[in-house]
Amino acid sequence: MTASSPTLPTDEHSSLPASPNRQLSIPPPPARPAFDPSSIKDPRERKASEWIEEAEAYLRKHMVGDLADALVRLWIEFEGRLGYPGNSERIPKPGRPAEVDWWQKRGRDYSKFPPVQPPDEYFKTWFAWYQGLQPAGCRCDSAWPLPRDDSDAQTDWTILKKGGPNGIFIVLLTLAFWADGLQTSAEIDIYESAMADVTWVLKTMLDLLGGGKRKMAGDGDSADVGKRSKRRTK
């Protein structure tokens, strides 16, 4: 199925974040690895988290932009909050960028990088898949950025609240692949807006997890959270 093209904001009324790095030669700010396996005391969790160190290095190598470090750190915190669930959790595969399948079929080899389709085509595929992972109030198949639903504290993040190598890490992996072909300022802006969106999603889910004290909608109990900000205003 061919993904439809979402409507993007015009320059005059754009709600995309400003792009401070207009040159692709500017790498993400230098950052030390955030994952520290020695801090994990539970042997089961330590074993289940063994893949994260190499995965973090791969994301840091290929992601670009000022949000890269913060996004990776939020992801590592998210994995820890979930207790390093291992391979059992999965976000839906149908419709995701084919580059993920290419990489997985080669044994998830972190020394390999897939051939990536042009950024405009990649975004169409990525957008159709990504928006379908969102809670109902945050979906929109015809416009980007996506809406943010702050009307219901019980927003159900069950689809995206998945840890492990088949969980939300796959979303970050698609951002790493996407960065490879960026050339124009417009392409960089769309990419950075996607980075900002995934950052918001992780922050929101971490707020709902509440350091292990608050459960998220979909876990069986109510989530004790306040309203969240919006991704865009109409």
- The rounded radius of gyration (Å) of the Cα atoms in the chain is 17
Of residues 67 and 155, more confidence is placed in: 67
Answer yes or no: is pLDDT of 208 > 60: yes
Q: What is the pLDDT of residues 101-126, one digit of tens each?
A: 999 999 999 999 999 999 999 999 99
- Tell me what pLDDT residue 24 has: 43
CB 229 within 8 A of CB 150: yes
Secondary structure element (H or E) that encloses residue 13, with its range: none
Q: What is the pLDDT of residues 64-95, one digit of tens each?
A: 999 999 999 999 999 999 999 988 899 999 99
Show Cβ contacts of residue 55 under 8 Å, excluding neighbours closer than 6 positions: 110, 165, 169
CB 148 within 8 A of CB 200: yes
pLDDT over 70 percentage in the chain: 74
- Tell me what pLDDT residue 7 has: 65
Q: What is the pLDDT of residues 8-61, one digit of tens each?
A: 644 433 343 333 333 444 455 456 678 888 888 888 898 889 999 999 999 999
- Tell me what pLDDT residue 194 has: 96
Answer yes or no: is pLDDT of 146 > 50: yes
Answer yes or no: is pLDDT of 229 > 50: no
Q: Which two tokens stand for residue 73?
A: 């750190």
Q: Which two tokens stand for residue 155?
A: 């927003």
Mean pLDDT of 205-216: 65
- Tell me what pLDDT residue 5 has: 66
- Tell me what pLDDT residue 16 has: 38
HEC secondary structure over the chain: CCCCCCECCCCCCCCCCCCCCCCCCCCCCCCCCCCCHHHCCCHHHHHHCCCHHHHHHHHHHHCCCCCHHHHHHHHHHHHHHCCCCHHHCCCCCCCCCHHHHHHHHCCCCCCCCCCCCCHHHHHHHHHHHHHHCCCHHHCCCCECCCCCCCCCCCCCCCCCCCCCCCCCHHHHHHHHHHHHHCCCHHHHHHHHHHHHHHHHHHHHHHHHHHHHCCCCCCCCCCCCCCCCCCCCCC
Of residues 166 and 140, more confidence is placed in: 166
Of residues 181 and 170, more confidence is placed in: 170
Mean pLDDT of 145-160: 77
Question: What is the CB neighbour count within 10 angstroms for residue 120?
Answer: 13
